Amino acid sequence: MAERYDLQEIEVWDGNYAAAHALRQAQVDVVAAYPITPSTPIVENYGQFVADGYVDGEFVMVESEHAAMSGCVGAAAAGGRVATATSSQGFALMAEVLYQASGMRLPIVLTVVNRALASPLNVRGDHSDMYLGRDSGWIQLDAFNAQEAYDMTLCAFKIGEDMRVRLPVMIHQDGFITSHTAQNTNPLQDEDAYAFIGEYETYQEMLDFSKPVTYGAQTEEDWHFEHKAKQHKALMDSRDVINEVFDAFEKKTGRKYKRVESYMMEDAEVAIVALGATVETCRLAAQQLRADEGLKVGVVAPRCFRPFPFDNIREALKDVKTVCCMDRSSPGGAMGALFNEVSAALYSTKNRPLVTNYIYGLGGRDFAVEEAKRIMREQKAHADAGYITTQIQQFSGLRGPKLGFFETNRR
């Protein structure tokens, strides 16, 4: 029997430590992990919890992140509650096995501390790895601070393990900005956290020899299409379960979450859409612009990046005149991924707002409140003119010549 960890009503945790405690409280059967900055403290602290007797499960140290996710797949197929953590290049090395986990419908929980992808090598945070995993068949939840890193990890187990879902879940937090910043965090006591998640319910476990099952089967053109269609349907249908879990979490803690979080959007004419810790920067900017300049600006933040909440995005932005989508990842010769998703959601709406794209914060470059306010003022200028007065895609905070792409013809 695992020891009970003595928690205070308010703890001062960074995002990594918060995620580690959530894994401990879930009483995970197997964590297979390989350390990588800036997610190392998650598995490091979890390993200490195991050594100190606070966890009954196994902590398996492997030779790479590919091996870590492979170990998780094997343990989950065998019937265990399983989790791990990674970042950046480690996430990229896991990529092959991410598709295996989702295709086998294994409810693994992966805490991702977002960091730039090389080259050049960079250990600071941006959303390159988050975007890399967006089509891997995993549910993706986004935390904006340490409290949410804890809360979303608890919710991830309950969502992924639901028999209507049975899919793996990632929880994203910004490298160093969230992962290494200590903040007041209000955790549940161990018994309450475990009661919320519930006992793990095995399903078609590989080691139940009385009911043989096959994992990793090969299917060509005869059945592959049907398998992927069912997997996609399960991912889309998870939206209802995510809503239910968030509602149950609110009843348990008083903390309310939605698949799309809206701030000051009731009368907003201008909206900024962002992910991660940037959301809190944008909220402060909107608050100040409303108070000081009377600008009707608001912030929309997808809490659930996959399945992408097209319906909620449309509802949140239905009355605005302009939208700016903030992408913290190199677009690779295209518009940013968040811009593309939001634009697709808005394309079929009756009131189609003007949509622009800002690339910002790559490799951990700071994004300040004043820059957020400047972008919001620019969006107001678009709204007043009735067309995009700048180029559709711009780079924010870039040294050297100003870069912008894709001229507008909406005049």
- Global pTM value: 0.97
What tokens were used for 395? 């780079």
pLDDT reported for residue 409:
57
CB atoms within 10 A of CB 394: 20
Structural domains in the chain? 11-185+219-253 (3.40.50.970), 260-405 (3.40.50.920)
Question: What phi and psi, each to the nearest 5 degrees, are found at residue 237?
Answer: -70, -15
What would the mean pLDDT of 189-214 be, rounded to a whole number? 94
Position 3 confidence tier, pLDDT thresholds 50, 70, 90? confident
pLDDT reported for residue 88:
98
| Chain CA centroid to CA 267, Å | 28
For 24, 195, 247, the CA distances from 199, given in Å and listed in that order, are 14, 8, 19
How does pLDDT run across 226-253, given as a tens digit for each residue? 999 999 999 999 999 999 999 999 999 9
What would the mean pLDDT of 302-325 be, rounded to a whole number? 97
pLDDT reported for residue 410:
55
Range in 5-9, 114-118, 126-130, 156-160 the model is least confident about: 5-9
User: Given CA atoms 92, 97, 99, 105 in this order, what sign does their dihedral have?
Assistant: negative
pLDDT reported for residue 153:
98
Q: Could you give the CA distance from residue 297 to residue 380 in angstroms, rounded to a whole number? A: 8
* HSE toward the beta carbon, residue 265, CA cutoff 13 A: 22
In this model, does residue 411 exceed pLDDT 60? no
